[in-house]
Structure 1
Amino acid sequence: MNALRRLPNSAPVLLLCVLLGCVAGAFVEPVGAAAYALGQIYISLVTMAAVPLLVVAMFFGLRQLLALPRPGLRIGTMLTLAIALVALCGVAGTIAGVVAAPGLDLSAAAHDVLGRLILASSGNAGEVRMALFAQGAQASTEGAFALTDVVPDNFFGALANGRALGILTCTIFFGMAFAALSSEQTKVLNGIFESIYRALEALIDYANLLLPVLVFGTAAHLVAHTPRALLSAMSGFIGVFLVLAGGLSCIAIAAIAMRTRVSFVRALACLRAPMLVAFTSGTATAAIPHTIEAMSAKLGCSRGVAELVVPFGAVFVRAGSALYFALVTVFVANLYAHSLDVADYAMIGAAAAVAAFASAGRNGAGGIVAAGIVLSLLRLPAEAALVLFVAIDLICDGPRNLLSLLSTCAVVALVSAGLQPDRAPASAQATTLYGESALVRLAFTRAQLALVALCAVLAASLIVVMGIGVGAR
């Protein structure tokens, strides 16, 4: 079983799944379609467990962070670093767009392919709606952004609809109120939350066994359903984005290694599991348990800080999205021969960061809708992004999530400066958090077990006889 659990964290295994998936997508499409459907079940399982895990992990992290020295300064530093990293990625994407100029020198054939795809889908492309206030069904319009997404009027409604940004806000308020209570008042609820936390971690760990199947199915789906001409026409954009995301990810790993005082190779080895999960899972929340464990137990950062920042970063620190939105805007501007000046480039960098925060809580193709914010400021057609970039989203989603994850880890390393790990490992948690009184040990002799089994049989027989009697009457 332990060997099976190591498969999702093995780069050679996942690479082999990619290669086999490409072959299946090209020659055995039904097999790839079945694996892709199973992979979507994996994503559903992880999302189901990740939302309550986000709540509980942030609850513990906020409670412990408020008990540390200068908690206000650390929370302020966390927010400042998160905003700064997202903004820097937006600026980096803009500069890379100016230097590499993706979409500027496309061939006539590539222009024809992209133009036909946009025209063919223009009848189905909806408008990107941005509203500050919305009620009822209007608030759930796809692509719309409402103020109630940030501060929901119904916490259970936010949980039911999976609105991660609203869940995050409610969790912060509840955690701050709970942290104000004494330990005696919260001892019982702490034990309940701890059990829920470990159960959700175990559920995600078991669900990650399906990660190779997801990788295989996604590769097969991509090969079977993405037109070769589209990939060729978009190859310039894809290449620039992959190189830039990889370079910024390496810079983030170097910053983490410097802050935690380990080598670059050591930091890379410690972060291997969460990096692979983030790169291949297609969801920002699947790597939360691995990331908390890697940053606290392996790299020595404060576990309280990690439990607060990592779930927060999975929703809020969208550095990869900021980079992506900036490049998307420059590409669309070049595609439509829209000239840009210095003021336009500054607007792109700032608006890409704003759009990244607006996409909080949306994964995959659903987050691309926020690119319409940047495109609309330059009066560029938003449907171009919705059509062209949804088609290649499976290629760009992994690097985008990876850069966001490593940016979050960099925030953890910086905020944890001067602190030691303040929680015991999971194996020792049950015996150290509440003492031996929290453990309930049950021991039975064979005679007692036989007596219990006999009583169970007699009770079952009595129920059957009663049921027969009621039926006969």
Structure 2
Amino acid sequence: MKAWKSISNSTLALLVCFVMGAIVGIVAAPVGAAAYFVGQLYLSVVNMAAVPLLVVAMFFGLRQLLAMSRPGVRIGTMLMLAVVLVALCAAGGVALAAIAMPGQHLSSVAHARLGELVLQSTSDTRVVLFGHAASSATVTPGGFSLGDLVPDNFYHALAQGRALGILTGTILFGMAFAALSSEQTPMLNSVFEGIYRALESVIGYANLLLPVLAFGMAAHLSAHVQRATIDAMSGFLLCFVLSALLLSALALAAIARQAGTSFGRALTSLKTPMLVGLASGSATAPIPHTIEAMSTRLGFSRGVAELVVPFGSVFVRAGSALYFALAAVFVANLYDRPIGMADIVVIGVASTVAALMSAGQNGVVSVGYIGVVLSLLQLPVEAAGVLFITIDVICEGPRNLLSLLSICTVVALVSAGLPSERTPLPAALAAAGARPVFRFTFSRAQLVLAMSCVVAAASLIVLMGIGVGAK
């Protein structure tokens, strides 16, 4: 079990599984299909456990945050920082796209391939800001209604997995729970604590299947995604992945600065949630690992982490903002539409709005929100539907990684001035800045046995040397 856990937490092992899966998907598709099926089961289990974990974690987070000094200021700061970071990622995406200009220098073969895909598309993307009461509970791709945000039946929202409605009900119940004194809710605290730890264990054991998921996803991609399409979209893919990694590195540097530690230490502390977010493509799977890493390892307030991380997994869509901005520039270049300064501002603002509107949506469903940006530029929305759905599985990991580190940045900034939660070293070692020293102690019998083994080994070496010299 320990060996398999180390494999699931190893970057090199997951990379090897991904490469092997890509090869197996070409030469042995049934094996890849079986691994992909197991990976989907893993995602189902994680999402099943992550939704109630999100609810319970926010209960504890709200209670601890409201007990701190100036809770209103901290909550307001959290909301403001979340919006600002999403906007900064959208602005960064527009700036990087203006430099790289993806889609501008495509070959005639790539143009022909993308043209075929667009012509084959018959889908229609709708964006509904406020739906009628009769259809407010209906979730449609690319659609948003008031019933998604404020459900009239919390249990119905739980059953359908509607993250926005779940979050609204959780916040209201959590605030009422936090207003009660600890003397009034001792049993409820114990029940919530037990549920919290049990769900953490479920997700921890489920994450042991990360190598199988990476293997199965790679096999599925190599078996079903046409290489001509990947080649035609390679410019966008390269630009998006490099932009996401650059902005993720900046976010990680900000976290390290707030934690008062090195970039390498921060990277090591957050390695597990980053790997889970990259490999699983799920925004909720890294929640327990992120809370643990930000509080115990990096020292930020656990109450803030337990509130911001679940909230951010739904609302802080920094990766989506970057994705929408780059996609809009790519489509504009594909249709030879010049982009001026006013268009750059429109893309940045629209990408931020689209990212916030896509809160609670994951995967292919969130691709429809690219239409919000394209419609303002008077570009064909159907291009987004067919071109970006094809490659969305590849983009989902980097998109989640950037959103995850943006959430961690919010935790780091909101936790400023609060006591550190980091597990302390012994006082003498901390003062000397040294690492713990391992001491080896032996009993008299163990020492005699060890010396006997050393003498026996030395005698054997001498005898072997005499034998070799005699020959």
Query: TM-score, with normalisation over the residues of structure 2?
Result: 0.88
Report the identity percentage: 62
Q: Which amino acid aligns with 1:28?
A: A
Q: Is 1:130 the counterpart of 2:134 in the alignment?
A: no
RMSD: 1.5
1:328 maps to what in 2? 327
Q: Which amino acid aligns with 2:391?
A: I
Spell out the pairing of 1:298-337 with structure 2 (5 A cutoff).
Answer: 298-337=297-336
Which protein has the larger Cα radius of gyration, Structure 1 or Structure 2? 2
- 1:421 CA drift (Å): 4.6
CA gap of 1:43–1:134, structure 2 versus 1, over 3 A, is farther
Q: Which amino acid aligns with 1:325?
A: F
2:440 maps to what in 1? none
- 1:5 CA drift (Å): 2.2
CA gap of 1:42–1:286, structure 2 versus 1, over 3 A, is same
Q: Which amino acid aligns with 1:254?
A: A
- Structure 2 portions without partners, runs of 5+: 425-471
- Deviation string, structure 1 residues 140-170 (Cα, Å, up to 9, x no partner): 3333110111111111111111111111111
Partner Cα separation in structure 2 for residue 424 and residue 14 of structure 1: 29
Partner Cα separation in structure 2 for residue 249 and residue 223 of structure 1: 27
Spell out the pairing of 1:38-57 with structure 2 (5 A cutoff).
Answer: 38-57=38-57
1:445 maps to what in 2? none
Q: Which amino acid aligns with 2:83?
A: I
Partner Cα separation in structure 2 for residue 200 and residue 66 of structure 1: 24
Partner Cα separation in structure 2 for residue 370 and residue 198 of structure 1: 36
Spell out the pairing of 1:127-206 with structure 2 (5 A cutoff).
Answer: 127-137=125-135, 139-206=138-205
Q: Is 1:76 the counterpart of 2:76 in the alignment?
A: yes
2:221 maps to what in 1? 222
- Deviation string, structure 1 residues 78-121 (Cα, Å, up to 9, x no partner): 1111000000000111111111111112111111000001112x
| Contact 2:42–2:209, Cα closer than 8 Å, also in 1 | yes
Partner Cα separation in structure 1 for residue 307 and residue 421 of structure 2: 13
Greater mean deviation of Cα atoms: 304-313 or 357-366: 357-366
Partner Cα separation in structure 2 for residue 5 and residue 179 of structure 1: 36
Q: Which amino acid aligns with 1:89?
A: C
Partner Cα separation in structure 2 for residue 286 and residue 271 of structure 1: 14
| Contact 2:124–2:382, Cα closer than 8 Å, also in 1 | yes
Q: Is 1:347 the counterpart of 2:346 in the alignment?
A: yes
2:358 maps to what in 1? 359
Partner Cα separation in structure 1 for residue 96 and residue 102 of structure 2: 9
1:32 maps to what in 2? 32
- Deviation string, structure 1 residues 398-441 (Cα, Å, up to 9, x no partner): 1100000001011111111111256999xxxxxxxxxxxxxxxx
| Contact 2:259–2:299, Cα closer than 8 Å, also in 1 | yes
Q: Which amino acid aligns with 2:29?
A: E
| Contact 1:303–1:423, Cα closer than 8 Å, also in 2 | no
Q: Which amino acid aligns with 2:132?
A: A
2:265 maps to what in 1? 266
Partner Cα separation in structure 2 for residue 55 and residue 3 of structure 1: 32
Partner Cα separation in structure 2 for residue 326 and residue 115 of structure 1: 21
2:308 aligns to what SS in structure 1? Answer: helix
| Contact 1:329–1:348, Cα closer than 8 Å, also in 2 | yes
Q: Which amino acid aligns with 1:208?
A: N
CA gap of 1:305–1:181, structure 2 versus 1, over 3 A, is same
Greater mean deviation of Cα atoms: 261-270 or 96-105: 96-105
Partner Cα separation in structure 1 for residue 37 and residue 228 of structure 2: 26
CA gap of 1:220–1:369, structure 2 versus 1, over 3 A, is same
2:292 maps to what in 1? 293
Spell out the pairing of 1:354-433 with structure 2 (5 A cutoff).
Answer: 354-421=353-420
Spell out the pairing of 1:453-468 with structure 2 (5 A cutoff).
Answer: none
Q: Is 1:63 the counterpart of 2:66 in the alignment?
A: no
Partner Cα separation in structure 2 for residue 132 and residue 237 of structure 1: 33
Q: Which amino acid aligns with 1:375?
A: L
1:183 aligns to what SS in structure 2? Answer: coil
How many residues in Structure 1 have an aligned counterpart in Structure 2?
423
2:447 maps to what in 1? none
| Contact 2:323–2:399, Cα closer than 8 Å, also in 1 | yes
1:250 maps to what in 2? 249
Partner Cα separation in structure 1 for residue 225 and residue 305 of structure 2: 38
Partner Cα separation in structure 2 for residue 307 and residue 395 of structure 1: 29
1:115 maps to what in 2? 115
- Deviation string, structure 1 residues 162-190 (Cα, Å, up to 9, x no partner): 11111111111111111111111111111
2:184 aligns to what SS in structure 1? Answer: helix
Partner Cα separation in structure 2 for residue 340 and residue 383 of structure 1: 20
Greater mean deviation of Cα atoms: 52-61 or 356-365: 356-365
Q: Which amino acid aligns with 2:146?
A: L
Partner Cα separation in structure 2 for residue 4 and residue 275 of structure 1: 18
1:13 maps to what in 2? 13
- Deviation string, structure 1 residues 193-242 (Cα, Å, up to 9, x no partner): 11111111001011111111110010011111111111111111111111
Greater mean deviation of Cα atoms: 173-182 or 198-207: 173-182
- Deviation string, structure 1 residues 3-27 (Cα, Å, up to 9, x no partner): 3222221111101101110110111
Greater mean deviation of Cα atoms: 378-387 or 263-272: 378-387
Partner Cα separation in structure 1 for residue 5 and residue 102 of structure 2: 41
Partner Cα separation in structure 2 for residue 127 and residue 256 of structure 1: 38
1:407 aligns to what SS in structure 2? Answer: helix
| Contact 1:306–1:412, Cα closer than 8 Å, also in 2 | yes
2:186 aligns to what SS in structure 1? Answer: helix
Q: Which amino acid aligns with 1:54?
A: L
- 1:362 CA drift (Å): 1.3
